Amino acid sequence: MSMEMIRPNPYSDDRVKRKTTVVTGAGGFIGGHLVADLLERGFTDVRAVDVKPRERWFQLHEGVHNVEADLTRRDACMDVLEGAEHVYNLAADMGGMGFIENYKAACMLNVLINTHLLEAAREHGVERFFFSSSACVYNLAKQQDADIAPLREEDAYPAMPEDGYGWEKLFSERMCRHFREDYGVETRVARYHNVYGPLGSYDGGREKAPAALCRKVAEVKLGQSDGILIWGDGNQTRSFMYIDDCVLGTQLIMHSDIREPINLGSDELVTIDELVDIIEGAAGVRVGREYDPTKPRGVNGRNSDNTRILQRLGWEPSIRLDEGIARTYEWIERQVRGAGVETGRDVFTAA
């Protein structure tokens, strides 16, 4: 569904496109796609910020003020938000389940980023501040069954989120609320549900399940492996949102009047085994499967209840999993084939 089909259209006023717009975490997966979309929509003053050296950004765009900065430092946050009007905070030290299970302290330290950015937003009079939260904030007791009822926004309380990463996200949601209530910083919060797509991590330990499984299937297809290892028993369920839906939903929420945290995710529920079936279809191969229940597997079931986003925006993520996986698998297979000769991956650079 195009932006033009949605009412209200946040970009009907060209003044929005001239505002100084800061995207933190811009060298990462979601941030890189968001910057690309803002440029495509005609934004003229975009500031992209990431802690990584620019040669390691997944997307690097000309015509953008690209800044390397460690946003766990308060002074860096004050610097990068000077003159900012709209801020999308996507910055976080994170990865897939293997990362967040084994690096809980690193995940918790992300609270410094959002806290210092909120302080800077208050200091500099930022008009709008978006925080990317996560479905990991939801109460674990509600996610014990693979045949799960979709999670409603109120299911985050009483609080019992994913240890480490989930607690940080839930705490930062509250920080956004209180900076809005106490200081007038107009905050927006979306709870992302399992975002996937091309131009992101697919190896190295930070990749999420769709990218990891696409890589494993590609390795079998290309004769680099005999089969794939699935973490858990393959029966755990998830919904997965394609990056284009995530980027569109993020901007719709940013420019809406939705002040409380809201789900941003697909409600197309599949088992991990069914996800592998879809990847096999995209690759045109069948692969042998082994299972390791000792590996981090997360909750038994998680799905997004989209009642509220449909009520408030008249829109929900709609790109089907088979369509998004086909695009994602094609890019990851190209990486496994060695398309990025020096880095082992494509780095997209746009003029």
Catalytic residue among 138, 165, 202, 329: 165
Q: Give yes or no for a contact between 190 and 261, defined as CB atoms under 8 angstroms apart.
A: yes
Give the three-state DSSP class for 79.
helix
Taking alpha carbons only, the member of 43, 340, 3 closest to residue 199 is 340
> To which H or E segment does residue 220 belong?
helix 209-221
CA distance 251 to 11: 10
> To which H or E segment does residue 67 belong?
strand 65-68
DSSP code string of 149-217: PPBPGGGG-S----TTHHHHHHHHHHHHHHHHHHH---EEEEEE--EE-SSS--STT---HHHHHHHHH
Q: Give yes or no for a contact between 40 and 62, defined as CB atoms under 8 angstroms apart.
A: no
165 belongs to the catalytic site: yes
CA distance 55 to 27: 9
Between the alpha carbon of residue 233 and those of residues 211, 230, 274, 291, 292, the distances in Å are 18, 7, 12, 6, 7
Could you tell me the two tokens for 24?
A: 């933190």
**Which residues are catalytic, by number?**
165
